């Protein structure tokens, strides 16, 4: 069984530029999460989807971040414009149902210069 796929793995952009991350969850997993992980910290939830519905986006900085999950499968997280403080690893995770066991992708390491 394939795991959670994310791309790109690494991204370097200049501040004020836009950037997008893509995630393909494990087949059959209805719940999808986007987390942000800063160096030396634990993952921080940005948004959670159940199928195509965003059921928790309270931690998503909506002035510059947006996300979508079309058809309840793949998801895209976008930042526009990026700021220096957005440098982090962006992790996507999925689970068959909401709960404690989540399957994480390898993440996208974003560097904003």
Could you list the residues that contact other proteins (CB under 8 A)? 4, 33, 40-45, 48, 56, 91, 93, 98-107
The alpha-carbon radius of gyration of the chain (Å, integer) is 13
Residue 87 token pair: 């440098």
Beta strands in 41-107 (DSSP E): 44-50, 53-56, 65-68, 75-79, 88-95, 103-104
Taking the complex as a whole, the smallest distance from the CB of residue 111 to other proteins amounts, in Å, to: 14
Q: Which is nearer to other proteins, 16 or 98 (CB)?
A: 98
Least distance (Å) between residue 112 CB and other proteins:
19
Q: CB nearer to other proteins: give 56 or 74.
A: 56
């Amino acid at each position: 069984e394939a795991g959670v796929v994310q791309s790109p793995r690494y991204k370097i952009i200049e501040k004020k530029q836009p950037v997008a991350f893509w995630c393909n969850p494990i087949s059959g997993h209805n719940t999808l999460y986007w987390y942000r992980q800063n160096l030396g910290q634990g993952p921080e939830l940005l948004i959670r989807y159940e199928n195509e519905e965003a059921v928790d986006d309270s931690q998503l900085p909506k002035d510059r971040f947006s996300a979508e999950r079309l058809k309840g499968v793949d998801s895209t997280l976008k930042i526009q414009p990026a700021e220096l403080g957005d440098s982090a690893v962006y992790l996507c995770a999925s689970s068959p149902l909401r709960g404690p066991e989540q399957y994480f992708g390898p993440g996208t390491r974003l560097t904003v210069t």
